[in-house]
Each structure stands twice: as C-alpha cells, then as structure tokens.
C-alpha cells in the first residue's frame, strides 16, 4: 500500500489548476509521464492514445484561436499543454502490441468498433496521464472547451504521420499556484454513486 502522502498527492489534495509558476517542464519529465502511462492497461493492449505537447511560444499560439474564452488565459500561461488524442488507425499496431493474437487487428475493422474502443481506451489513457503527471510532482488542468475539429485540422490532418489522430481533451501541465483556486466542490458519497451486490 502506498503512503497517505502519496494518496493526497494523487487524489485527496490534488486540484485542477488555473494559474502557473514561471517554471519549465523538461522534455525528460514529459517523456517520463509517457513512460508511466504506457504500462497501464487497455483492452487488447491496443494503446490508442497519442499525445502532442505544446510549449509556450509558436506551438501554443497555434492553439489559441480554437480555445473558448474561459480557457484562454489558463492555457496560454501554462508551461505545456498536452493534446490528448487517439489514433483512428490504432488497430494497425495490434500485431506489434498483441503478438500472441495478431488477428485481433480484425476486431476493429468496423468504424463502430474502432470508435468505441479507440475513444474509450484513449480516454482511459488520458486519465492515466493525469495520475502519472501528479505522481511526478506536476500539477494539471484537464479540460474540454475547444474546437476539436479545428485542432485536428491544424495539428494532425496535414501531417502524414498523424493524419489519423483525433483530439479528445487538453491537459495543461506545470507547477500550479493557488492564486485562482476556489474551495473544493462537493463530491458524491459512496451510497449515492456505488453499490455492492452479493
């Protein structure tokens, strides 16, 4: 069992941040996040999530036109914003990732199967990403509130290596400040959201 301190860092004390210290997040740290995420489970080890990291400057400015107004300041001021995406053609890598049953690639030929599995497992990997970043001492600000189609066109569609990627949500990354935090919102009790059947 991990310590209470670790549980606080990952869950109880963790917050969604809106303002950031002027402190860089290294490439090594970004790779370390991915190197944790890749070990977490997905169905048939399909690993459909893809990540694009945008730093302050020209890369982040390309994102600006596609953000809703309320997400603008917190995103543009974050040291890094990750586009959490998923690969529409994730199934092409299944023979590599699921080598004991390479024919599993065929399970995802239909568009409906590809969407439901790719989007669900890509979202799951996005959640793993949040926990990995927190475990490494970063603060996060996950959000929607942007034009997905425009982001896909700007960052993916004209790049042959990434033309099949589809944006899901964004995660601002850095070292958060308490300047814009408000009291934690209520959470449901176990009895309101869970049941144990015997």
Domain housing 121: 19-178
Q: Where are the alpha helices (DSSP H) in 90-142?
A: 94-97, 111-135
The reported pLDDT for the residue numbered 69 is: 97
The reported pLDDT for the residue numbered 193 is: 98
Tell me whether residue 82 is in a domain.
Answer: yes
Tokens of 184: 């934690």
For helices 27-37 and 111-135, the axis angle rounded to 10 degrees is 120
Answering whether pTM is above 0.75, one says yes
Tell me whether residue 108 is in a domain.
Answer: yes
Tell me whether residue 62 is in a domain.
Answer: yes
Q: Which pLDDT tens digit goes with each residue over 61-104?
A: 999 999 999 999 999 999 999 999 999 999 999 999 999 999 99
Tell me whether residue 98 is in a domain.
Answer: yes
In which band, very low, low, confident or very high, does the pLDDT at 182 lie, cut at 50, 70 and 90? Answer: confident
For the stretch 54-85, what's the b/e string if a residue is b when 16 or more beta carbons lie within 10 angstroms of its beta carbon? bebeeebeebeebbeeebeebbeebbbbbbbb
Tell me whether residue 126 is in a domain.
Answer: yes
Tell me whether residue 196 is in a domain.
Answer: no
Which residues, at least 6 apart from 151, have a Cβ–Cβ distance to it below 8 Å?
Answer: 63, 66, 83, 167
Q: With CA atoms as reference, report the closest residue to 171 among 143, 134, 135, 146.
A: 143
- Cβ distance 119 to 31 under 8 Å? no
Q: Which pLDDT tens digit goes with each residue over 8-22?
A: 999 999 999 999 999
Q: Specify the number of domains making up the chain.
A: 1
Tell me whether residue 72 is in a domain.
Answer: yes
CATH number for the domain that contains residue 151: 3.40.109.10
Judged on CB neighbours under 10 Å (0-12, 13-18, 19+), 99 is: exposed
Name 127's bridge partners.
Answer: none
């Amino acid at each position: 069992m991990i310590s209470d301190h670790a549980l606080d860092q990952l869950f109880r004390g963790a917050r969604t941040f809106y303002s950031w210290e002027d402190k860089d997040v290294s490439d090594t740290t970004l790779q370390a996040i991915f190197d944790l995420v890749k070990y977490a489970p997905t169905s048939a080890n399909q690993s459909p999530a893809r990540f694009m990291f945008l730093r302050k400057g020209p890369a982040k400015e390309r994102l600006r036109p596609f953000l809703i107004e309320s997400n603008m300041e917190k995103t543009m001021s974050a040291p890094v914003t990750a586009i959490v995406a998923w690969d529409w053609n994730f199934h092409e890598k299944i023979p590599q990732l699921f080598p004991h049953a390479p024919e599993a690639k065929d399970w995802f030929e239909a568009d409906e199967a590809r969407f439901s599995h790719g989007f669900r497992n890509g979202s799951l990997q996005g959640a793993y990403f949040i926990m990995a970043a927190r475990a490494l001492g970063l603060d996060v600000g996950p959000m929607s509130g942007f034009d997905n189609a425009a982001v896909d066109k700007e960052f993916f569609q004209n790049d042959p290596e990434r033309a099949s990627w589809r944006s899901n949500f964004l995660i601002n990354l850095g070292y958060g400040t308490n300047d814009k935090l408000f009291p934690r919102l209520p959470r449901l009790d176990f009895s309101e959201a869970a049941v144990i059947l015997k």
